[in-house]
């Protein structure tokens, strides 16, 4: 019997923490993985890129707490590859910068296992950048050196050349140095590096939990002990540290360090979460609803078969657009089925979704609420015009009632329905949040149902932010104290409101 072909191992650098810093090649590798073997420093949104049927194996290593020994991790990779699987070994930072990726690649090569290296952004560069510290600046240094602060414990003595490291014309970056900080500082001082040399410790670099402590060689050890700052952190030594106060950018955002609960459906949360990461907030994805087919899909099916009979087709959400074109594809039709019908969209995101399908809406109201849509449609239609309203099963009847009251013929079709989501960790997620966001009345209802009698206690002291007045009214009716309502009824408008008035 022929020997089965071995799989392949991808040694992928996850970057320093911000999921937006993952490379495109790394994301493609993860999306195609059969098995994901990942480290402690790999951000949850990056791990979530793996396919639903991907086997996920955590082998994280923190100081003093190793899930698996390094030798066991390598043996695991070899065994999985020999089973013919496609494995992504996801490592924090860059696998070849003090990530032991070289050791793993060497062992894979010795075992005859095909592998590929996908570099990542090392924290040695990214963490200082997010702290506003450039590693090079022509007025301050001519080189920089990256060194480990935690050498192989089996070595008889350190092989770091502190005489060379104590060069005042370079920037020093130490990784994994917090356990040996006093020793490192002492040896640099012994080799002549002046005590007033600026030092920065950047903990959890590129994350919303990032902390930066600035001092000098003479003061930094005492400062670290007093503040309790610890791993994972990098240490930067050099004149470039002085530039931080002028060019710091990440940790000055109004939302920096805030934890924001996202209650919208999981498939719509990614963009919102990414924007929160960009401005230094920590997104907590906790969907309270999911989108599914309506209880009775036949009215939508009949409407699409007769879609040419309508003068206007109105979409109230991206979900409606997606459902419409899924059904069109099911019956083997495309946008030509719309004929001469005009199209309206509530909101720019709904309009954007239509454009992706090659449909340019004739009407997008300035305010994205049913009352304004009704007024705009009444201006653009005549009595007896036929209007197809493609919307959620649970939507309000304000829009069709106002149109029918002015002699428009309106067919309301349930394109999709929202269902409640059960999450065993939901209360814990709410408890961690500083800000709770709602993007629809349905997310409010799901939130209330999930917390039940514990609702008031769960939201005590938290900022409640809503995407618009309809959502805000639903929240108030549920007994929630609404603090912020976006002036523009979009996720981007909600973010802008949060930035202007952070919790």
Q: What angle do CA 123, 129, 133 make, to 5 degrees?
A: 115
Ranges assigned E (strand) in 238-355: 259-262, 282-285, 289-292, 312-315, 342-345
Residue 85 among the catalytic residues: no
The answer for residues whose C-beta is within 8 angstroms of residue 217's C-beta and 6 or more apart is: 185, 188, 189, 193, 194, 195, 196, 197, 199, 237
**Among the listed residues 451, 475, 271, the one whose alpha carbon sits nearest the alpha carbon of residue 485:** 475
Residue 178 among the catalytic residues: no
Marked catalytic residue, from 8, 18, 34, 39: 39
Asked if 337 and 313 touch (Cβ cutoff 8 Å), the reply is no
CA distances from 501 to 236, 440, 491 (A): 34, 20, 15
The answer for residues whose C-beta is within 8 angstroms of residue 484's C-beta and 6 or more apart is: 463, 464, 465, 466, 497, 498, 501
Residue 353, Cβ neighbours under 10 Å: how many? 22
Residue 331, Cβ neighbours under 10 Å: how many? 10
Structure tokens at 381: 């239609």
Residue 239 among the catalytic residues: no
Distance of CA 400 to the CA centre of its chain: 37
Marked catalytic residue, from 8, 18, 94, 176: 176
By the 10 Å C-beta count (0-12 exposed, 13-18 middle, 19+ buried), 152 is classed as: exposed
The shares of helix, strand and coil residues in the chain, as percent rounded to the nearest 5, are: 40, 20, 40
Report the alpha-carbon distance of residue 43 to residue 16 in Å, rounded.
Answer: 9
Catalytic residues: 39, 61, 176
């Amino acid at each position: 019997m022929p020997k089965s072909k071995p799989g392949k191992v991808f040694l992928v650098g996850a970057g320093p923490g911000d999921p937006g810093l993952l490379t495109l090649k790394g994301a493609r590798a993860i999306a195609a993985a059969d098995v994901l073997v990942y480290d402690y420093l790999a951000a949850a949104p990056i791990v979530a890129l793996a396919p639903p049927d991907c086997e996920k194996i955590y082998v994280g290593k923190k100081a003093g707490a190793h899930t698996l020994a390094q030798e066991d991790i390598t043996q695991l990779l070899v065994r999985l590859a020999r089973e013919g699987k496609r494995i992504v070994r996801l490592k924090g930072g860059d696998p070849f910068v003090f990530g032991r990726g070289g050791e793993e690649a060497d062992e894979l090569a010795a075992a005859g296992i095909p592998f590929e290296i996908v570099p990542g952004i090392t924290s040695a560069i990214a963490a200082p950048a997010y702290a506003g510290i450039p590693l090079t600046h022509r007025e301050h240094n001519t080189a920089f050196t990256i060194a480990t602060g935690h050498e192989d414990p089996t070595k008889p003595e350190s092989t770091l050349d502190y005489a060379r490291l104590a060069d005042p014309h370079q920037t020093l970056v130490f990784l994994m140095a917090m356990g040996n900080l006093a020793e490192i500082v002492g040896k640099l001082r012994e080799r002549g590096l002046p005590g007033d040399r600026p030092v920065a410790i950047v903990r959890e670099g590129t994350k919303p939990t990032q902390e930066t402590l600035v001092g000098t060689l003479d003061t930094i050890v005492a400062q670290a002990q007093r503040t309790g700052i610890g791993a994972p952190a990098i240490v930067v030594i050099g004149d470039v540290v002085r530039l931080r106060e002028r060019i710091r950018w990440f940790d000055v955002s109004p939302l920096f360090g805030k934890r924001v609960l996202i209650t919208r459906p999981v498939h719509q949360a990614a963009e919102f979460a990414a924007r929160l990461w960009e401005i230094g907030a920590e997104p907590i994805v906790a969907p309270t609803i999911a989108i599914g087919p309506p209880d009775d899909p036949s009215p939508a099916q009949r409407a699409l078969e007769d879609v040419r009979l309508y003068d206007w087709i109105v979409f109230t959400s991206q979900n409606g657009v997606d459902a419409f074109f899924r059904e069109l594809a099911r019956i083997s039709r495309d946008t030509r089925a719309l004929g001469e019908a005009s199209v309206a969209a509530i909101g720019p995101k709904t309009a954007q979704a239509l454009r992706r399908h090659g449909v340019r809406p004739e009407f997008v109201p300035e305010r994205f609420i049913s009352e304004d849509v009704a007024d705009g449609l009444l201006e653009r239609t005549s009595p007896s015009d036929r209007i197809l309203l493609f919307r959620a099963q649970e939507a309000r009847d304000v829009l069709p009632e106002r149109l029918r009251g002015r002699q428009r013929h309106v067919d309301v079709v349930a394109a999709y329905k929202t269902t409640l989501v059960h999450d065993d960790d939901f209360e814990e997620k709410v408890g961690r949040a500083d800000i709770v966001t709602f993007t629809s009345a349905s997310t409010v209802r799901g939130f209330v149902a999930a917390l039940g009698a514990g609702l008031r206690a769960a939201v005590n002291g938290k900022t409640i932010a809503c995407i618009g007045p309809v959502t805000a009214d639903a929240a108030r009716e549920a007994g929630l104290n609404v603090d912020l309502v976006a002036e523009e009824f979009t996720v981007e408008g909600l973010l802008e409101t949060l930035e202007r008035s952070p919790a």
